[in-house]
Structure 1
């Protein structure tokens, strides 16, 4: 059991519903963005397949770079969407807004800037220092 499972978060049901709607809207936006990026990636591949005659090394390199950029974009969108999905799960569990590291409340200002935040600023900084 998490520390804050039984602790009142101080949020009204209306506030929780607003947070859920905001998170869900962003998740839905990212899903639409992903679907659009997949479609663009498929079109790019079709163009590549039909347009390889006369390609030199520079052309091949450009196509490879475009393909890599498209794949990177897809991974980034999926990662961001997973963050919002995780935030929605935490909201349903009653742990949204509490740091996964130290279990302290995440400042409202941080959640306003990054609604899918799972750590307080201190724990985030500690993780970044360890990763460096």
Structure 2
């Protein structure tokens, strides 16, 4: 659902603008606007992270497949079977965490394209350029992040 100027004014959350120019990305009052080079650095970092995470997931899936193959062997004692189960559970948990991080990185790239990168997903205020540069997948301003962590 696309926001209009009226819904933007009512909610305080800027409407998506299509592909954003660097100077259009949100910053806190007093911060310098995003330069094209800074925006491209953020995009490059996120793209590299997506590639790295996809490779990690493929590696983890291959490890789980190997553990499942090895686990189907009826040989070995209970301790060996238990160790294999622990390894398999660890690889599955690692893959799940990696998939979550991958989704966050892909969403950050989408927000860059939409022009909503750097805006808090809860309150719509700017997150802060320095925070976005330090943690490019951030989706919450510091106030909302602290509220979330207190829950």
After TM superposition, the score normalised by the length of structure 2 is 0.75
Residue deviations 1:86-105 (CA, integer Å, cap 9, x gap): 10110000010111112121
Task: Determine which structure has greater relative contact order: mean sequence separation of CA pairs < 8 Å that are 6+ residues apart, divided by chain length.
Answer: 2
Deviation of 1:63 (Å): 2.2
Question: What are the within-5 Å matches in structure 2 for residues 1-132 of structure 1?
Answer: 1=3, 2-3=13-14, 5=16, 8-9=24-25, 10-50=33-73, 52-56=74-78, 58-130=79-151
Taking only aligned residues, the RMSD between alpha carbons, in angstroms, comes to 2.0
Runs (5+) with no aligned partner, structure 2: 4-12, 18-22, 26-32
Q: Provide the rounded CA distance (Å) in 1 between the counterparts of 2:34 and 2:129.
A: 12
After TM superposition, the score normalised by the length of structure 1 is 0.85
Runs (5+) with no aligned partner, structure 1: none
Deviation of 1:54 (Å): 4.1
- Answer 1 or 2: which has greater helix percent: 1
Do the aligned residues in 1 keep the contact of 2:42 with 2:133 (CA within 8 Å)?
A: no
